Copies of this chain bind each other. A is one copy, B any other.
Amino acid sequence: MRLRLRNIFLVYFVVSSVGLMYALLQIGQPCDCKGTNAHGRIQHSVVKGHRDLPEDDHLPVIYVVTPTYARPHQRAELTRLSQTLLLIPSLHWILVEDSAERSKSVADLLAQSGLHYTHLNVQTPPVMKLKDSDPNWLKPRGVEQRNEALRWLKLNKSPKDFGVVYFADDDNTYSVRIFQEMRYTQKVSVWPVGLVGGLRYEGPRVEKGHVIGFHTAWKPHRPFPIDMAGFAVSLSLLLSHPEARFDPNAERGFLESSLLGQLVSIGDLEPRAHNCTKVWVWHTRTEKPKLKQEEILEKQGRGSDLNIQV
């Protein structure tokens, strides 16, 4: 009896010690911070690493391609967009500067963003470039930059990487919901875009789950009358068409069609956002800030401190 009690005690001691060790190890461990928000649909991870860290294994990756160029409100726009993207799990931001080299300003912003990202650059040929005085519809912007991102994807991703590619300009407004809609795209998913083409919204018309036409007023004869913000393409579809690119010489309004025409036909389009009845992305434009007082102050020797990044 004396021996048996000691044995029971020893076994219990070993088992409970292991349990206690486990409990002690749990204390002070960081949380795996993911949750659903109030509408119970959006998951997001708080602490994001950068591109060296593996992406979330459970979800297809959303590759957000953003062309950008230097201007007074660039940091504001990129800050705002980066904070929206921070709410989306398993997202990889491909930011492509229209410049001869990658700028320190953008590199710093990306490094502090908490996002997975890739920082690229390519300069638009001068002959194709919009001048400051040109109206912004005169020439398409960001074509070379989006194509550079497509090149990067083809070099760095393989058909076994499950993902979707979205072309998100830095001045539009994105609800977190639109990213949720596009994640599981077979070929090309589509949805309405607000405040574009002179209308409250432009978007696909859907019947019985299929796209049967488009609500648009401007150049309705375009093969795909869809704004850049109104579609996403599956990574595997892009990788299986390694030559697919945006055409820098496309007629005004035909840039989206120049890519989509190489990948799908209208019948392949997958309507999203409740059969294209919800507007969760808006074609907003930010006013060019007026900085007339800078010169005046400078002449008085009281100009802005150029060490202060704006």
Contact in complex: B286, A284 (CB < 8 Å):
yes
Asked if A140 CB lies within 8 Å of chain B CBs, one says no
Complex interface: chain B residues within 8 A of A203 (CB):
308
| In the complex, chain B residues whose CB is within 8 Å of the CB of A47 | 35-38
Q: Across the interface, which residues of B come within 8 angstroms of A198, CB to CB?
A: 290-294
Give CA–CA (A1, B290) in the complex, Å.
Answer: 91
Whether the pair A289, B5 counts as a contact (CB closer than 8 A) is no
Give how many copies assemble into the complex: 2
- Report the stretch among A72-80, A124-132, A241-249 that lies at the interface: A72-80
Decide: A310 and B84 in contact? CB cutoff 8 A.
no
Residues from 38 to 59 in A contacting B, C-beta threshold 8 Å: 38-39, 44, 46-50
- A9 within 8 Å of B by Cβ? yes
Most buried by B among A37, A203, A278: A37
Q: Which of B30, B39, B113 contacts A114 (CB 8 A)?
A: B39
- Residues in B whose Cβ lies below 8 Å from that of A197: 293
Given contacts A112-B38, A286-B284, contact A308 B192 (CB under 8 A): yes
- Are A33's CB and B31's CB within 8 A? yes
B33, B72, B287: the one within 8 Å of A286 (CB)? B287
List, sorted by A's number, 6 A–B pairs whose CB atoms are closer than 8 Å: A2-B2, A33-B35, A192-B308, A277-B305, A277-B308, A284-B286
Report, nearest first, the 9 A-B pairs whose CB atoms are least far apart. A198-B293, A31-B31, A217-B293, A38-B114, A76-B282, A37-B114, A23-B23, A35-B47, A76-B173
